[in-house]
Amino acid sequence: MAKPEGVRIERPDGSVVPCELDHRGYDEVEDMDNWDIVTEVTFRPNIDKLCVDVFPPRTGLGFRVARPQ
């Protein structure tokens, strides 16, 4: 089980939110490790940028997404 490294959300104003991860387990059907961002932050599609320095193969990453209004 390899953990993603350097996970962060970059905002348009230049701020960076480092993200802490929690391992949610191995999915035998999908053959992948699942990780969730547990930092209290919401990703805004088409506004924010999700960055990962090291994203191991067979890895899933879950996070909260803001819904368009």
Query: Would residue 28 count as lying in a domain?
Result: yes
Query: Would residue 15 count as lying in a domain?
Result: yes
Query: Would residue 68 count as lying in a domain?
Result: no
Number of domains in the chain: 1
Q: What is the DSSP string of the chain?
A: -PPPBS-EEE-TTS-EEE--EEEEEEETTTTEEEEEE-SS--B-TTTSEEE-SB--SSEEEE--BPPP-
Give 12-68 pLDDT, tens digit per residue: 999 999 999 999 999 999 999 999 999 988 899 899 999 999 999 999 999 888 776
Query: Would residue 58 count as lying in a domain?
Result: yes
Residue type, 37: I
Q: Write down the pTM of the prediction.
A: 0.85
Query: Would residue 56 count as lying in a domain?
Result: yes
Query: Would residue 54 count as lying in a domain?
Result: yes
Q: Which domain holds residue 16?
A: 8-62
Query: Would residue 1 count as lying in a domain?
Result: no
48-64 residues labelled b (16+ CB within 10 A) or e (exposed): beeeeeeeeeebebebe
